[in-house]
Amino acid sequence: MIGITSYAEPSVRWGVWDVPAAVIPLAYVRQVEAAGGRVLLVPPSEEGVDETLDALDGILFSGGSDLDPAEYGQDAHPETNGTRPDRDRGELALLRAALDRDIPVLAVCRGSQVLNVARGGDLVQHLPDVVGDEKHKHTPGVFADHAVDVKKETRLGSLLGDRAPVKSHHHQGVGRVGEGLVESAWAEDGTLEALEDPDKRFAVGVLWHPEEGEDAALFRALVDAARHHRDGGTTTAASATTVA
């Protein structure tokens, strides 16, 4: 069973309704299901972290809005916006607890930033100030296509090889890398695009959006690691089709 962290939106419309709702893009769900997993939605909450993790074999930290820079000791940049401090607090607590229990983690876009901050790292609040352009998020609502160079001697390298096409939509990035994390992929402009904890069963963060791409290797790896976690490190024929 794979948990996916959700957005908590104050106003979501469908039919005649306009209500607060916990939502995630369906692409995340379909990728996990295609990899053999089953999904539980994990709305933002600081309560019940241990009970939530008791129900999960792995967890995917999804994309979303900018983190509150107070979480990593900075004042807000003029371009930092849409922060959701309640989601930040809930996901930071959940991610730290998941790592403590060695529950497999895949962290996507904002999720990779949560991973870094959870380990004491910080963020670059506006990448155009560093790289000189907005090619990582050139058009609102449209993913930017580019390639990343991957370090071979990493978990990510074993999954993607030394170069991979990706889809991005972000204006923030990883600054100081958190404790225990290693860098594993970079964009051509030098932006750090992925990091991981080599001492965990599976703890990988990518700044791009693999759910929008055609390569499902990261989702298969998450589900496989979750299956091993559930089975105590072993794989059996009975567990070879789904994590539930």
Which candidate in 71, 196, 211, 212 is catalytic?
A: 211
Closest among 28, 42, 47, 41 to 89, alpha carbons compared:
47
> To 5 degrees, how large is the angle CA 124–CA 183–CA 139?
45
The tokens describing 194, both together, are 């992925």
Which residues lie closer than 8 Å to 114 by C-beta, 6 or more apart? Answer: 61, 67, 88, 91, 92, 95, 107
- Phi and psi based region of residue 15 (left: phi greater than 0; alpha: psi -120 to 50; beta: remaining): left
Which candidate in 71, 91, 109, 212 is catalytic?
A: 109
Measured distance CA(115)–CA(91) in Å, rounded? 9
79 counts as catalytic: no
The tokens describing 197, both together, are 């904890």
Which candidate in 136, 209, 228, 229 is catalytic?
A: 209
Pairing of strands 203-206, 105-108: parallel
211 counts as catalytic: yes
209 counts as catalytic: yes
Q: Which residues are catalytic?
A: 109, 209, 211
